[in-house]
A and B are shown apart, each in its own frame.
Chain A
Amino acid sequence: MQWETVIGLEVHVQLATRSKIFSGASTAFGAEPNTQACAVDLGLPGVLPVLNEAAVAMAVKFGLAIHAEIPEVSVFDRKNYFYPDLPKGYQTSQMYQPIVGAGVVEITLEDGTTKSIRVHHAHLEEDAGKSLHEDFHGMTGVDLNRAGTPLLEIVSEPDMRSAKEAAAYLKAIHSIVTYLGISDGNMAEGSMRCDVNVSVRPKGQEAFGTRAEIKNVNSFRFVERAIAFEVERQIELLEDGGKVVQETRLFDPERDETRSMRTKEEANDYRYFPCPDLLPVVLDKAYIDHLRDNLPELPAEKRARFENELGLSAYDASVLSATREMADYFDEVREVCGDAKQAANWVQGELAGALNRENLAIKDSPVSARQLGELVARVLDDTINGKAAKQVFQALWNGQGASADDIIEAQGLKQVTDTGAIEAMIDQVIADSPAQVAQYRDAEPDKRGKMIGYFVGQVMKASRGTANPQQVNELLKQKLDALC
């Protein structure tokens, strides 16, 4: 039987506020356990939450970025359950009236096609602390530094049909939140995590199959792998005449499998009700308009501009707009050198290669966008040739000069375009290579084209790479043919 996969994602994005969603404690990552938890985060008796306006603004910006409806009123609810890292015995979340209504996220697949994934809603909530099971000899430690960190939970419709689409959706969300600057998007530190709902159904069937929810998957790669495993598990189960149970599962990246955590029967009744300690959030039109007017250019708009205005290919436009850092870097290189195509080639070629080799993010590139732009400009104005340009790039990367011009000057890489100088070098090479000249002369005319390479190499070597290769080629051909 042909099966179709149906996937919905709940993405938790940690918002980049300085303080927590309901307290003044810091949200910085990596501090000593329990040093960033104040009385409110600890849930001590008598303390009260006060909503952080920055978290509201960030949530609304996300909503505007996905063209979602922003309701005038949203309400915080309490989700009640007991857990040691949940200090109050409830999580303050939004169940009935979330801050962001229905919206749409465009995803781009590897073959360049696009698809719209509907977002059901996005709501604000507080993160819980962390239970630490190692180092405590049969006991559990609790670190409440993370408790109260603002999260935006983005809930999609079940619109994805493959692991690739799910990964593309996650990347699109990542790209939007980092463009907006509302999250650092650092998945390794848990700034973005997702719960994946997966089911399968016979192709052509309209009704959804029973779904399993895979909790807390925290990388693009793991999302794909978890789904791949889960889809295979469910299909195998169904083809063997079994049934999929609605349950929560955990992805184990070590063993590359998902395991059952709890079934629906064991699920909690969270007893949601409106939090009486917080007032409803009322947003007026002026506030929303102000945020809308100040939105940065978003990935989809950027991609369109790169493609339509700068004439880049769909592929280049998509790669260069994937992250805000990448797009900003490219934009600066392009502005400095004045040629979008060349800028795109250099950013995706030499720069991306070097970054990959050293496993660096673009924001950590040793070569700044301005430096690279100036370098490309020197190629475009024929100051240096392509070969020398690579040398200059390497020198910039190694910190051997402040600018391309400095390095060109210091290393004498300026391209030689003086015909007289090139001719002199050619004459010398011809004079030094009688055997090769004889071979060239004796060869069939249509084989000579290949043989010229040797002479070009010798001339370039004599010029220490600085001769204009095109001129060398043309002049050599004239001189050698004159000897025939």
Chain B
Amino acid sequence: MHDKTLAELTRSLDAGDFSSRELTQHLLGRIDRLDGELNSFISVTHEQALAAADAADAARAAGKAGTLTGLPLALKDIFCTQDVKTTAGSRMLDSFIAPYDATVVEKLKAAGTVSLGKTNMDEFAMGSSNENSHYGPVKNPWDFTAVPGGSSGGSAAAVAAGLVPAAIGTDTGGSIRQPAAFCGITGLKPTYGRVSRYGMIAYASSLDQAGPMARSAEDCALLLNAMAGHDLRDSTCVQRGVPDYTEELGTALSGLKIGLPSEYFGDGLDPQVEAAVREAIKVFESLGASVREVSLPHTHYAIPAYYVIAPAEASSNLSRYDGVRFGHRCANPVDLIDLYKRSRAEGFGDEVKRRILIGTHTLSEGFFDAYYKKAQQVRRLIRQDFLDAFEEVDVLMGPASPTPAFDLGANKDPVQMYLQDIYTIAINLAGIPGMSVPAGFVGKRPVGLQILGSHFTESRLLNVAHQFQLATDWHRQRPALAEENA
């Protein structure tokens, strides 16, 4: 039951093989048994989940079930949920309960999904390994000595470990795609503005975007159908019709033009990761696609530009955590400044503090033009690189990460950690959609193939990934967890 995709589970629920309650109970049992070591959840909401499952079963019995009714999933703990605490992986919000549901949460609830809980993450979505969580690191289900990636590491690990068939993540610089790659699942970062950010705790507002993480491209399409759409509460969410993202899933790939950015196959790319990616490209060729090399000449500016823009926005977005109205407040403050200083010093972890400091510095008088303004100019060039490339090809492909999942504790140097995101970060700067799809292994650790498209071409990306998954079974591989080996 826990190995199935959402599409398969729907068929089983429709066929009456088991109920949503039985499915939910089974998965909650697995979480209880396995997640102690995996640490992929911050909150598990047994009672609410069972109540939602019962409601879904009742809806199904009444003939009112939609495509997602009764399907369990998990939410990255960055989405505000009424009645369940939302921590963003931070001590700062350890006791924060929002008085509202995020729009994404509202939409998924309306679609009849059953949330099993809130998943672990790097604090405020800042990190590439899930080691920056106040709630401890998450382990990679394929290899407990490896990281699951970040920042949506809990969501990726929970799906890979068979604790939940799908989870929702957020991606600011690769936070859906890189953990999806590290954990061997399928993840989609939609076009910026496709999914509402309302109720999603902000890290870097101009880059943050929510997306599905699941076991197949088809499942991602089903989830995106429920998540996407205009929201009056988010001015940056576009007013644009939402297609049925499953509609294009049957389209053959003959004639598809694939571009391989030469910058994504250069120094620093693990040869075994490269080999797996090139094998995957051959599959596409066998499906009738043509492949050519393209160039994204400003790629090497992406990380510096990102680490100016994202921390600048973050330094401002995180100012509201001041100990005055909600969140962590230090004990016995002597005055206002003391309240601010100690509440923030105690509430935030090191990486968050580092980025707040960077952002505060780059926005300072005298530095703004040299850093922030310049970075915005670079951002436009990077976006133009992609637009130019998409004049020539339909999609771009390359590795989602230069290496497979690295060892827990291996990347102590923050800059080394930042360089992990070299293939994912430019996509957020450009605002285009991107996916990571399982494409092989290096030893026990999965490799992700990244597929990129121009703005609002999610339907095409999902079909390209789906056709690959019809031709391969990398996405069907499951890790052998300790309990099951015993």
Identify which of residues 16-61 in chain B touch chain A, using a CB-to-CB cut-off of 8 Å: none
Least Cβ distance of A294 to chain B in Å? 26
Question: B320 near A88 (CB under 8 angstroms)?
Answer: yes
Query: Is the pair B198, A45 in contact by a Cβ cutoff of 8 Å?
Result: no
Which of B107-115, B359-367, B413-421 lines the interface with chain A?
B359-367
A276 at the interface (CB under 8 A from B): yes
- B232 interface residue per 8 A CB criterion: yes
Knowing A46-B198, A276-B206, A277-B236, the reply to whether A87 touches B316 (Cβ < 8 A) is: no
* Chain A 36-48 per-residue mask, 1 if CB under 8 angstroms from chain B, else 0: 0001001111111
* Min CB gap B369→A, angstroms: 11
Nearest CB of chain A from residue B216's CB, rounded to whole Å: 29
- Specify which chain B residues have a CB less than 8 angstroms from the CB of A193 in the assembled complex: none
The chain B residue with its CB closest to the CB of A269 is: B365
**Taking the nearest CB of chain B, how far is it from the CB of A46, in angstroms?**
4
Instruction: Give the chain B neighbours of A88 by CB distance below 8 A.
Output: 319-320
How near does chain A come to B230, taking the closest CB pair, in angstroms? 12
In the A-B complex, the 5 residue pairs with the closest CB atoms: A89-B319, A271-B363, A276-B205, A276-B206, A46-B199
**A269 CB contacts on chain B under 8 angstroms:** 364-365
Are A87 and B320 interface neighbours, CB within 8 A?
yes
Asked whether A276 and B313 contact (CB < 8 A) given A39-B99, A50-B233, the answer is yes
Interface segment, one of A76-84, A256-264, A346-354: A76-84
The total of interchain contacts (Cβ-Cβ below 8 angstroms) comes to 104
Provide the bound-state CA to CA distance between A20 and B86, in Å.
27
Q: Which of A19-67 contact B (CB under 8 A)?
A: 39, 42-51
Give the residue of A46, A48, A89, A90 whose beta carbon is less than 8 angstroms from that of B98.
A46
Given A45-B86, A84-B324, A142-B324, decide whether A273 and B236 contact each other with a Cβ distance below 8 A: no
What are 30 inter-chain pairs, A to B, with CB distance below 8 A? A43-B325, A44-B99, A44-B100, A45-B86, A45-B96, A45-B202, A45-B320, A45-B326, A46-B86, A46-B98, A46-B197, A46-B198, A48-B235, A48-B236, A49-B235, A50-B234, A50-B235, A82-B340, A89-B319, A89-B320, A90-B316, A142-B325, A271-B363, A271-B365, A272-B363, A272-B368, A273-B363, A276-B313, A277-B202, A277-B236
* Chain A: interface residue total (CB-CB under 8 A): 29
Q: B235 touching A271 by the CB < 8 A rule?
A: no
Residues of B within 8 A of A42 (CB): 325
Cβ < 8 Å to A, chain B residues 341-372? 360, 363-365, 368, 372
- Cβ of B183 within 8 Å of any chain A Cβ, yes or no, is no
- Give CA–CA (A226, B324) in the complex, Å: 34
| Interface of B (DSSP majority class) | loop
Nearest chain A CB to B195's CB is how many angstroms away? 13
* A429 in the interface (beta carbon within 8 A): no
B96 touches A82 (CB 8 A): no
Q: Indicate if the CB atoms of A279 and B235 lie closer than 8 Å.
A: yes
- B296 contacts the other chain (Cβ, under 8 Å)? no
Please tell me if A278 contacts chain B, counting CB pairs below 8 Å. Answer: yes
Q: Determine if A271 and B316 form an interchain contact, defined as CB atoms under 8 angstroms apart.
A: yes
A417-459, CB < 8 A from B? none
Measured CA separation A80–B360 after assembly (Å):
10
For A46, the chain B residues whose CB sits under 8 A away are 79-80, 86, 98, 102, 197-202
Residue numbers in A under 8 Å from B99 (CB-CB): 39, 44
Also in contact, A80 and B232, with CB within 8 A (given A42-B325, A45-B80, A276-B206): no
Q: How far is the CB of A74 from chain B (nearest CB, A)?
A: 14
Distance A90 CA – B313 CA, assembled complex (angstroms): 12
Is the beta-carbon distance between B233 and A48 smaller than 8 angstroms? yes
The A-contacting residues of B in range 74-123, CB under 8 angstroms, are: 79-80, 86, 88, 93, 96, 98-100, 102
Q: Which of A89, A140, A278 contacts B235 (CB 8 A)?
A: A278
Which residues of A (112-148) have their CB < 8 Å from a CB of B?
140, 142
Bound form: Cα–Cα A50–B319 in Å: 20
Tell me the bound Cα distance from A140 to B235 in angstroms: 34
Contact of A39 with B233 in the complex, beta carbons under 8 Å:
no
A89 near B233: Cβ-Cβ < 8 Å: no
Residues of chain B within 8 A of A87, CB atoms compared: 320, 324-325
B260, chain A: closest CB distance, angstroms: 32
Task: For B363, give its contact among A45, A80, A82 (CB under 8 Å).
Answer: A80
Query: Given A45, A80, A90, which contacts B201 in the complex, CB threshold below 8 Å?
Result: A45
**Distance of A23 from chain B, by nearest CB (Å):** 10
Question: What B residues does A89 contact at CB under 8 A?
Answer: 316, 318-320, 322
**Cα distance A273–B319 when bound, in Å?**
14
Query: In the assembly, what is the distance between CA of A256 and CA of B112, in Å?
Result: 66
The distance in angstroms between the C-alpha atoms of A57 and B315, with both chains bound, is 32
* Residues of B contacting A142 in the complex (Cβ-Cβ under 8 angstroms): 324-325
Bound-state CA distance A50–B198 (Å) is 11
Tell me whether B336 is interfacial, beta carbon within 8 Å: yes
Contact residues of A between 261 and 291, Cβ < 8 Å to B: 269, 271-273, 276-279
- Select the residue from A50, A82, A272 with max chain B CB neighbours within 10 A: A82
Q: B-facing mask of A77-121, CB < 8 A → 1, else 0? A: 010101010011110000000000000000000000000000000
- Determine the residue in chain B with the shortest Cβ distance to A76: B235
Chain A residues touching B, majority SS: loop
Alpha-carbon distance between A51 and B204 when the two chains are bound, in angstroms: 20
Instruction: Report the interface size for chain B: residues with CB under 8 A from the other chain.
Output: 43
CB pair A277 B320 closer than 8 Å: no
User: Given A46-B102, A46-B198, A90-B316, do A273 and B368 touch, yes or no (CB 8 Å)?
Assistant: yes
B465 to chain A, nearest CB (A): 29
Distance in Å: Cβ of B330 to nearest Cβ of chain A = 15
From B234, which residue of chain A is reached at the shortest CB distance?
A: A48
Cβ-based interface call for B312 (8 A): yes
CA distance A47 to B365 in the complex (A): 28
Within 8 Å CB of B204, what residues of A?
276
Q: How far is the CB of A266 from chain B (nearest CB, A)?
A: 13
Assuming the contacts A48-B234, A50-B232, asked whether A43 and B320 have C-beta atoms less than 8 A apart, the reply is yes
State which of B98, B316, B364, B368 has its C-beta within 8 Å of the C-beta of A45: B98
Task: Tell me the bound Cα distance from A84 to B312 in angstroms.
Answer: 22
CB–CB A271/B364 < 8 A: yes
User: In the bound complex, do residue B235 and residue A277 qualify as a contact, i.e. CB atoms below 8 Å apart?
Assistant: yes
Residue of A45, A78, A271, A276 ringed by the most chain B CB atoms within 10 A = A45
Given A44-B98, A48-B235, A89-B319, A277 and B324 touching (CB < 8 A)? no
Say yes or no: A45 contacts B206, CB within 8 Å. Answer: no
- Note all chain A residues with C-beta closer than 8 A to B88: 45
Q: Which residues of the partner chain A approach B100 to less than 8 Å between Cβ atoms?
A: 39, 44, 47
Candidates A39, A47, A80, A278; contact of B319 at CB < 8 Å: A80
6 more contacts with CB within 8 A, not counting A47-B198, A87-B324, are A47-B100, A48-B198, A84-B324, A271-B315, A276-B236, A277-B236
Instruction: Determine the chain A residues whose CB is within 8 A of the CB of B326 once the complex forms.
Output: 44-45
- Expressed in whole angstroms, the minimum distance between the Cβ of A279 and any Cβ of chain B is 5
Q: Which of A39, A42, A273 has the most CB of B within 10 A?
A: A273
Which residues of the other chain, A, contact B364 by a CB distance below 8 angstroms?
Answer: 269, 271
CB pair A90 B319 closer than 8 Å: yes
Shortest beta-carbon distance, A369 to chain B, in Å?
43
- Set of chain A residues within 8 Å of B102, measured between Cβ atoms: 46
Closest to A85 in B: B324
In-complex Cβ contact of B360 among A44, A47, A271 (8 A): A271
Docked complex Cα distance between A46 and B233 (Å): 11
Within 8 A of A (CB), among B178-204: 197-202, 204
Cβ of B235 and Cβ of A51 under 8 Å apart?
Answer: yes
Q: What's the nearest-Cβ distance from chain B to residue A125, in Å?
A: 15
Separation in Å of the A283 CB from the closest CB of chain B?
16
By the criterion CB–CB under 8 Å, are B235 and A273 in contact? no
Partner of A279, one of B236, B315, B316: B236
Q: Which residues of A contact B79 (CB under 8 A)?
A: 46
Q: How far is A279 from B200 in the complex, measured between Cα atoms in Å?
A: 18
Residues from chain B with a CB closer than 8 A to the CB of A273 are 312-313, 316, 363, 368, 372
From residue B172, how far is it (CB to closest CB) to chain A in Å?
12
Query: Which B residue's beta carbon lies closest to that of A79?
Result: B316
